[in-house]
Amino acid sequence: MYQPTEFQRHDTASQPQESQDRSAARQFLASLYYPKAPVFHAFDLADRGYLYDLSSGAVLSLTSEAATLLKAAEAGEVDGLEDSELDEAGEALEELQLIRELGFLALPDEESRPTVPQTTEALLDHSSKSTQILVQTSCNLKCSYCYEVKNGFHGTGKRMPADMGRAIVDFAFQRARKRGVVDINFFGGEPLLNFELVRELVDYAEKLGVEHRKHLSFRMTTNAVLMTPEIADFLVEKRFGVMVSLDGDPSKADSNRKDHSGRGTSRKALDGAKLLRDRQRVAGLREVTARATLFGENSDRQNVLDFLHGEGFRRVMVGSAGDLEADPAELPASEPDPVEGVEGKGLTALRAVLGMKDPEERMRHVHERGLSPTLNHVRERLQMADVAPSISCGVGRNTLAATEHGDLYPCHRYVGQKEYVVGSVEDGIDRPKLAAYYGTLLSGYESHCRKCWARILCGGQCAWERSGDSGDITGPSPKYCDGVRSSMEAMLALYTESQPSLLS
């Protein structure tokens, strides 16, 4: 039977024993209610209860009785528990008491938590390793889900002049300050439309690297349609990290991925990506990451994964484009995303994996369904401290994007949305403008995400997805948040079932 603490006995001394016990139990559970910033999340899935403890990053298995009590505590609904439920909950209450005594369910140290202005200053003073250079703000393709088409800069056909490219590389070195590495990410449009400039800027950056004693790393995001043996050799020689947009089986993917004449391009893209991948494999380098976008007729995640794995791609990321017209918040981010590939049908598949009793079979399906990167992402995020206010990505810092005019945008997704220009290569960062941008994002985090149990795992919705065309930045979309929280419950359960229970 649950024994109330001395403090709780004092409050209930004049009541009959049974009533004292209930009252103490209610007090204990009510003391776990943290409406401003939840410190835990209790849930059940596939007939098992779980507790995710934010400060320790632990995920514990719970009895379903304990999970029921903790869910009521988390929701501030202890008064709604029936007396009979509490009378029968002695062991579950002891379980929770023990968990508390072990140091879980603890209040965070609010005193040392940075404020929004302090965090804004820290972000502004950050020395950034990476800069995105948009060497060509047009593309050889016209994909039906492309955000660049929506932004209106897709068809502008602008090539970055060489002197602007060099000025941006200079700027990238200045931004890195004392950092030992400068990372340059070639982006578009389609960067291979201006490959000569890529080559020239790599050469220029290497000279600066020697001068300033800095290491260099290069990255590129491309559709690979224009890949040639010469380009592939260059990318291998310079050890580029490459992400290629590949949507899978051409018979389906071509419904979205056409060139300007309306011809499908998926086969050419696959051939181009393989050309590079095979050379990377021989050189022992990290192979291209295939980034697939689910959209329209090509929305079957498992088919896309099976096809790309069948074509020999080992590194595959799948995301959903959703319905562009219905909800821009559905657009995929280019960076790894905690919900990537596990919303909608993906979530159903994830729950099916979770329901598998045989651990080996479960893990085989985790690999086959491409869930390992998301599981690893969850594992990493669990180890992070709750130091919000937070922004989920390097926006305005390591994703700063420079265009052919020298405009600086917080990331490539903003390019073409003039309200979000945060400086220029010539004049540097517009500090008040970037401070105002960060301040709005962080305040949104404080008013929305701070109350959310998934805040450490999620970090907040993509800033661009929260940004309206006229410069207004809103809180996260409820639809997005529901998807993240459902996915995270499934991922946490899967994570827990993949390793020995801490309490068993």
Minimum separation from the CB atom of position 2 to ligand SF4 (A) = 32
Residue partners of 278: CB distance under 8 A and separation at least 6: none
Which of these segments, 8-16, 73-81, 277-285, 446-454, binds ligand SF4 (CB under 6 A)?
Answer: 446-454
Q: How far is it, in rounded angstroms, from Cα 395 to Cα 333?
A: 12
Minimum separation from the CB atom of position 169 to ligand SF4 (A) = 21
By CB under 6 A, is residue 461 in contact with ligand SF4? yes
By CB under 6 A, is residue 386 in contact with ligand SF4? no
Half-sphere exposure of residue 108: CA atoms within 13 angstroms, side-chain side: 20
Classify each residue of 465-490 as buried b or exposed e, where b means 16 or more C-beta atoms within 10 Å of its C-beta: bbbeeeeebeebbeebbebbbbbbbb
Half-sphere exposure of residue 284: CA atoms within 13 angstroms, side-chain side: 0
Site string for ligand SF4, 464-493 (x = CB under 6 A): x-----------x----x--xx--------
Minimum separation from the CB atom of position 485 to ligand SF4 (A) = 6
Minimum separation from the CB atom of position 449 to ligand SF4 (A) = 3
Neighbouring-strand partners of residue 160: none
Q: How far is it, in rounded angstroms, from Cα 342 to Cα 318?
A: 9
Site string for ligand SF4, 134-173 (x = CB under 6 A): ----------------------------------------
By CB under 6 A, is residue 458 in contact with ligand SF4? yes
By CB under 6 A, is residue 193 in contact with ligand SF4? no
By CB under 6 A, is residue 408 in contact with ligand SF4? no
Q: How far is it, in rounded angstroms, from Cα 47 to Cα 355?
A: 9
Which CB atom, from 335 or from 368, has the smaller least distance to ligand SF4? 335
Give, in degrees to the nearest 5, the angle at Cα 54 between 60 and 371.
65
Minimum separation from the CB atom of position 351 to ligand SF4 (A) = 19
By CB under 6 A, is residue 452 in contact with ligand SF4? yes
Q: How far is it, in rounded angstroms, from Cα 58 to Cα 56?
A: 5
Which of these segments, 81-89, 121-129, 346-354, 451-459, binds ligand SF4 (CB under 6 A)?
Answer: 451-459
Minimum separation from the CB atom of position 460 to ligand SF4 (A) = 5
Which CB atom, from 312 or from 478, has the smaller least distance to ligand SF4? 478
Q: How far is it, in rounded angstroms, from Cα 91 to Cα 85?
A: 12
Which of these segments, 203-211, 261-269, 292-300, 327-335, binds ligand SF4 (CB under 6 A)?
Answer: 327-335
By CB under 6 A, is residue 39 in contact with ligand SF4? no
Which CB atom, from 28 or from 147, has the smaller least distance to ligand SF4? 147
Which CB atom, from 27 or from 474, has the smaller least distance to ligand SF4? 474
Q: How far is it, in rounded angstroms, from Cα 488 to Cα 491?
A: 5
By CB under 6 A, is residue 333 in contact with ligand SF4? yes
Nearest to 247 by CA among 279, 227, 221, 223: 223
Surface-to-core class of residue 346, CB atoms within 10 Å of its CB (0-12 exposed, 13-18 middle, 19+ buried): buried
Among 449, 491, 493, 494, binds ligand SF4 (CB under 6 A): 449
Residue partners of 203: CB distance under 8 A and separation at least 6: none
By CB under 6 A, is residue 411 in contact with ligand SF4? yes
Q: How far is it, in rounded angstroms, from Cα 341 to Cα 228?
A: 31
Which of these segments, 175-183, 266-274, 423-431, 448-456, binds ligand SF4 (CB under 6 A)?
Answer: 448-456
CB 44: neighbour CB atoms within 10 A? Answer: 16
70 near 96, Cβ under 8 Å?
A: yes
Minimum separation from the CB atom of position 350 to ligand SF4 (A) = 17
By CB under 6 A, is residue 400 in contact with ligand SF4? no
Minimum separation from the CB atom of position 498 to ligand SF4 (A) = 23
Greatest extent of the chain over all pairs of C-alpha atoms, in Å: 87
Could you list the residues that contact ligand SF4 (CB under 6 A)? 333-335, 393, 395, 399, 411, 413, 448-449, 452, 454-455, 458, 460-464, 476, 481, 484-485
